[in-house]
């Protein structure tokens, strides 16, 4: 048991440093006093020492006690009070973006406009990849992973004021259970703006409960400008995912595909593995373990 514990700790450490990424242009939000106040000193120290790290790694340092204002799955917890430059964009404007990836790992990614108060994507992602930062292909062969353009839609109604919206880059590496986010603050339209750096009014919607996922565009490794309409729908909770019939034909198919009338989480994961494949089962297991949803995660 002791040797297993040591091995597990080493494996966990290895995965925590397996991949890193962050927006380098335009200038994104950076961790500051607002993050420290919302999520605590340990969470802040993790990000300020390495803002290229992942959400899951920061969550391990959330610390004891209640953190009702901490929103780790939105801009990796960095709130509007830590906003630096706030850009003024217009509908149709083309925005060059650069991402710095210090260590790749197989994943999916998108860039979306997110409503800060509701924590939901406005419309569809502006660009997306269903294969991103693959370890099997050199980064030099895919310059579009780190340097690309987005075209701003007309979100003048939703994003008129400072603190209403962000452009959020989102990279999920499910094989190692790591998620990377960074955000760019902007306004569009004739809103007066807060002008004083105050945070927007908090959302009245309930906090998400478990990680879930939204389907990336069915394309090659090259980015696409559209994704299936399903990405704009609300993310189902873990309970809703569990209640949804799962197609058979997984890697261990051949067993009874009917959902048991009663089961523990372990037996349910076993049933998923047999009927939907190991990948789906592992995704659901991570959803339950994290105990929260991410509105821009990718559906299993």
Buried b (16+ CB within 10 A) or exposed e, 208-236: bebbbbbbbbeeeeebbeebeeebeeebb
Highest mean pLDDT among 12-16, 96-100, 190-194, 207-211: 96-100
Distance from the first to the final alpha carbon of the chain: 32
Take residue 189 and report the two structure tokens written for it.
């339209």
Q: Is residue 178 situated within a structural domain?
A: yes
Q: pLDDT-based confidence at 86, cuts 50/70/90?
A: very high
C-beta separation of 145 from 129 below 8 A = yes
Q: Is residue 256 situated within a structural domain?
A: no
- Residue 26 neighbours by CB distance under 10 Å: 16
Q: What is the distance between the alpha carbons of residues 199 and 185, in angstroms, rounded to a whole number?
A: 12
Q: Is residue 265 situated within a structural domain?
A: no
Q: Is residue 237 situated within a structural domain?
A: no
Q: What is the distance between the alpha carbons of residues 164 and 269, in angstroms, rounded to a whole number?
A: 39
Q: pLDDT-based confidence at 61, cuts 50/70/90?
A: confident
Q: Is residue 158 situated within a structural domain?
A: yes
Q: Is residue 220 situated within a structural domain?
A: no
Residue 29: CATH number of its domain: 2.70.50
Q: pLDDT-based confidence at 276, cuts 50/70/90?
A: confident
SS3 content of the chain, % helix, strand, coil (to 5): 30, 20, 50
Tell me, what's the pLDDT at 196? 35
Query: What's the whole-number average pLDDT of the chain?
Result: 74
* pLDDT for 18 beyond 50: no
Number of domains in the chain: 1
Tell me, what's the pLDDT at 51? 86
Please tell me whether the overall predicted TM-score, pTM, comes out greater than 0.85 for this model. Answer: no
Q: Is residue 110 situated within a structural domain?
A: yes
Residues in the chain, how many?
Answer: 300
Q: Is residue 258 situated within a structural domain?
A: no
Tell me, what's the pLDDT at 167? 98
Residue range of the domain that includes 35: 2-210
């Amino acid at each position: 048991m002791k040797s297993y514990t040591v091995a597990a700790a080493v494996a966990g450490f290895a995965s925590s440093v397996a991949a890193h990424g962050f927006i380098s242009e335009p200038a994104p939000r950076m961790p500051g006093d607002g993050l420290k106040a919302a999520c605590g000193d340990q969470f802040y120290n993790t990000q300020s020492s390495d803002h290229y790290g992942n959400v899951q790694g920061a969550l391990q340092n959330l610390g004891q006690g209640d953190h009702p204002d901490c929103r780790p799955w939105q801009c990796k917890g960095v709130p509007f009070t830590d906003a630096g430059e706030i850009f003024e964009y217009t509908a149709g404007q083309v925005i060059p973006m650069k991402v710095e990836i210090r260590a790749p790992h197989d994943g999916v990614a998108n860039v979306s406009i997110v409503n800060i108060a509701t924590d939901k994507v406005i419309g569809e992602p502006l660009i997306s990849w269903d294969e991103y930062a693959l370890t099997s292909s050199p980064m030099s062969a895919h310059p579009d992973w780190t340097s690309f353009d987005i075209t701003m839609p007309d979100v003048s109604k939703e994003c008129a004021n400072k603190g209403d919206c962000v452009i959020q880059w989102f990279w999920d590496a499910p094989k190692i259970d790591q998620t990377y986010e960074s955000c760019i603050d902007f306004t569009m339209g004739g809103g007066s703006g807060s002008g004083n750096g105050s945070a927007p009014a908090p959302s009245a919607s309930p906090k998400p409960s478990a990680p879930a996922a939204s389907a990336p565009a069915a394309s090659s490794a090259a980015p696409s400008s559209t994704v299936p309409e399903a990405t704009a729908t609300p993310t189902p909770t873990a309970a809703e995912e569990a209640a949804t019939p799962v197609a058979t034909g997984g890697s261990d198919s051949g067993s009874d595909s009917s959902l048991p009338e009663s089961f523990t989480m372990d037996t349910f994961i076993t049933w998923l593995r047999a009927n939907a494949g190991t990948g789906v089962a592992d995704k659901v297991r991570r959803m339950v373990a994290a105990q929260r949803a991410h509105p821009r995660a990718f559906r299993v």
